[in-house]
Structure 1
Amino acid sequence: MISIKNIFRKSSLALIAGVLLAGSNAVQAQDAVEGKKIFDANCATCHSIESDVVGPALKDVHTRREEAWIKQFVKNSTEMIQAGDPEAKAVFEKYGKVQMTSFAGQLSDGDIENVIAYVKQESENPTTAETPPAADGTTIATAAPQEVSFMDLPLLVHFTIALSGIIILLIIAVLIMLFRLFVPMLGDSIYDEDFRNSFAGRVLFLMRGDATVVTGKAKDEIHSSHDFDGIQEYDNDLPPWWKTMFYVSIVFAIGYMLHFHVFNTGKLQAEEYEMEMEEAAALAALNADDPNAVTTYEILTEATALESGKTIFNTNCAACHGQEGQGTVGPNLTDEYWLHGGDVNDIFKTVKYGVPAKGMVPWQGKLTKDQILEVSSYILSLQGSNPANAKEPQGEKM
């Protein structure tokens, strides 16, 4: 007989094991939650899970790199590159030689482990398409275009296609019947030279396999005194299709000259280019999402707008430009030198559309128009602040 003591012992062990397993899952989930907060605050500016941004996509990075290597790279990638680490150098070269911000004094080993746990969790989740916010901050649902098979088309479309096919077949059948009916009635008269040279005769003999109407006649008459080392030249017709195209080109050239150079009723290339550029400028002015569209924003000076801009800057821009705008990976924003223009409208466009070739990501899908204007105004408010360890000037003085 099994003793009650043994049953109690086994039940207790099972209960403890279940509690431990449940606890480990809870801890892992909590690590991922904490890792998401750290990722959004420090990494999301330059990295995404699914796609390359400034830096590489982080999906499955825990399977491609050892955890110790990831920690070291996050803390000080520059040191690893200078030490000659091949993987660190490869990442540096592949992504435009943009050095990753060093987080040695900001993130602990535990923080980095939490971020890895978050990346692992996201890597194992099914890929979901992100929907960018609209200009007012709301989310727009976008549907991918779907292919429609032929059988799913409306019945009217099927009927129209079938009716068109039947009509074409009837026309062909009638032509064949007429051909078979009238040709025997003509008898040997179809071989008369006058009939053969007529349009109807040419078509008839072309249908019977005589390609003379296309290739021309072979007269087999030798040009007089045309003998070159035993090579003789025959006086054969040029192909009719070639002669027809030649005549048409002459008529076209005369019409072209009169239209463009005599009567001046047509626009030459330079004039067409100017007209198209004017049309493009007019269309750009109507499209607020066109990078070439003219904007007339005024710099914001209200304290609330600048404070909001500072919050946006610290959350999204400080990772590459420094907390005080002194410049780290990105350029210094506190001096008088600008790479892409120092007016509020220039900065607005740089923030909105980004400069992907230099690692600056576009923010139009993440920030609203008002938020971009606020952060642009805040950036201009940093002019002349002279922070410590400011990066050297880049661009042109404004």
Structure 2
Amino acid sequence: MKTLKKVLFAAATLAFFGTGAQAQQIDGKAIFEANCKACHSITEDVVGPALKDVDKRHDQKWINSFVKNSQKMVQAGDKQAVALFEKFNKVPMPSFESSLKDEDIEAVVAYIKTESEAPVTVAATPPTTPADPKNATPTEVKSSFDLKSLPATVFLVLLIGVFLFALVVLFLVMTFISMLPVLGSYYNRPENAHLPMAKLVGLLRGDSKAIVGEHKDVLIEDHSYDGIHEFDNDLPPWWKYSFYATIIFGIVYLLHYHVFETGKLQTAEYNVEMEQAALLSANEISDPNAVTNYKVLTDAPAIESGKTIFAQNCAACHGKEGEGTVGPNLTDEYWLHGGDVNDIFKTIKFGVTSKGMVAWDKKLSKDQTLQVASYILSLQGTKPANAKAPQGEKYEPKK
């Protein structure tokens, strides 16, 4: 009987403490999701660092102080606090000194510790069943020409043919070179000197007149200055032909672009490319430059849903009433990234990583993002207490 009482007492004690520990984990998870999830993840850096194994990197006392007022520790010169502040773009962590107690922070750390020690689940790939050879579809074989795959006799005949062709070309070249003196004597005659073939033969024999022209070395009278003499020499043919080519090109360009207008000038090409880019962007949902034409939601259920999502995800950085803490004030007329509902929608969806704004496209649906954007616009002019100073440019609605 005594043994039974001891067993029951031990079981009750274990159940009591186990339930308490589980309650602490549940409370820690709830506190984490309400206050920390917007800027932190267990395994990945977001606005702030990944929190996995944070209990191994810092002691509990340091964590409590940092969560309550991180900027106080930074200003005091704490090396770890300063290093975190510098690493994450000097985005200050909101102060939780008035909202979280030591017990709450310890519960969050306990939850993070549990999540850090949890085994990583890997999705199991279903086993592949061997395919039935009778039903298997033949795979497409890409044909490609390979000399090594040719039969030896064909390869040998091909090699002999290439060799004979090279011999014939070499024979013709040598014959032409050997005949250059005869051709030179023929084309050097005055009646043949103007022929194009005469210039080609002369060029092959080393006469460069066809390219650089002929130097007459005729001194122009009264054209000597400071020991510099001017000769009456023709321009090199290569220069003259290039100049003629530019004249022809200029005429064709003028007719093509300015007379017949069959070609687009740079401004027209730019406008066409921008229109094409806008069309492509409009079809790409994940493109921040995609054109959107959302309208502000005004019905009460949508605004209430946006308010709930805002409180869960945005209040940590923008304040419960949109007054601004780490992030800017959302209740005035000044905006950093545009005050239209489409601008706010894109800012929420894609974030601004350089300013510490998280991208919510993977966590919020399109409808939820539009609800939050509409709720933010409903806060205009509410003038909450302790509102942050205006930032950005004043937004003027388009009429």
Q: TM-score, normalised by structure 2?
A: 0.64
Q: C-alpha distance in 2, partners of 1:311/1:271?
A: 48
Match of 2:110 among 110, 114, 139: 114
Distance 1:218 1:259, change over 3 A: closer
Alignment-derived partner of residue 360 in structure 2: 363
Can you list the C-alpha shifts for 1:35-79, whole angstroms capped at 9, x where unaligned?
555444332322334544322344565555555433322221111
Q: C-alpha distance in 1, partners of 2:170/2:22?
A: 85
Alignment-derived partner of residue 188 in structure 1: 178
Distance 1:372 1:267, change over 3 A: same
Match of 1:69 among 56, 62, 85: 62
Alignment-derived partner of residue 378 in structure 2: 381
Gapped regions of structure 1 (runs ≥ 5) = 1-15, 130-151, 226-237
Alignment-derived partner of residue 338 in structure 2: 341
Bigger radius of gyration? 2
Can you list the C-alpha shifts for 1:260-306, whole angstroms capped at 9, x where unaligned?
34544322222222222233333334444443444332332333322
Secondary structure of 1:178's match? helix
State the Cα distance separating 1:259 from its structure 2 match. Answer: 2.7
Summarize the alignment of residues 186-265 of structure 1 with structure 2, pairs less than 5 Å apart.
Answer: 188-189=178-179, 192-193=183-184, 248=245, 251-265=248-262
Q: C-alpha distance in 2, partners of 1:44/1:240?
A: 77
Superposed CA RMSD: 5.3
1:270 aligns with 2:260: no
Match of 2:77 among 59, 76, 84: 84
Work out whether residues 51 and 112 of structure 2, in 8 Å CA contact, stay in contact via their aligned partners in 1.
Answer: no
Alignment-derived partner of residue 134 in structure 2: none
Distance 1:281 1:27, change over 3 A: same
Distance 1:37 1:220, change over 3 A: farther
Q: How many residues align?
A: 344
State the Cα distance separating 1:222 from its structure 2 match. Answer: 9.0
Match of 2:95 among 102, 105, 113: 102
Q: C-alpha distance in 1, partners of 2:70/2:284?
A: 42
Q: C-alpha distance in 2, partners of 1:51/1:202?
A: 73
Q: Counterpart of 1:313 in structure 2: which amino acid?
A: F
1:312 aligns with 2:312: no
Work out whether residues 46 and 358 of structure 2, in 8 Å CA contact, stay in contact via their aligned partners in 1.
Answer: yes
Q: C-alpha distance in 2, partners of 1:76/1:284?
A: 43
Identity %: 50
Q: TM-score, normalised by structure 1?
A: 0.64
Work out whether residues 326 and 390 of structure 1, in 8 Å CA contact, stay in contact via their aligned partners in 2.
Answer: yes
Match of 1:353 among 342, 350, 353: 350
Q: Counterpart of 1:82 in structure 2: which amino acid?
A: Q
Work out whether residues 35 and 117 of structure 1, in 8 Å CA contact, stay in contact via their aligned partners in 2.
Answer: no
Distance 1:111 1:243, change over 3 A: farther
Secondary structure of 1:156's match? coil
Secondary structure of 1:100's match? coil
Q: Counterpart of 1:103 in structure 2: which amino acid?
A: F
1:296 aligns with 2:293: yes
Q: Counterpart of 2:117 in structure 1: which amino acid?
A: Q
Alignment-derived partner of residue 11 in structure 1: none
Q: C-alpha distance in 2, partners of 1:169/1:34?
A: 83
Alignment-derived partner of residue 393 in structure 1: 390
Distance 1:357 1:262, change over 3 A: same
Q: Counterpart of 1:283 in structure 2: which amino acid?
A: L
Q: C-alpha distance in 1, partners of 2:69/2:324?
A: 17
Distance 1:154 1:334, change over 3 A: same
Q: C-alpha distance in 2, partners of 1:371/1:173?
A: 75
Q: C-alpha distance in 1, partners of 2:261/2:293?
A: 40
Q: C-alpha distance in 2, partners of 1:313/1:327?
A: 13
Alignment-derived partner of residue 232 in structure 2: none
Distance 1:342 1:262, change over 3 A: closer
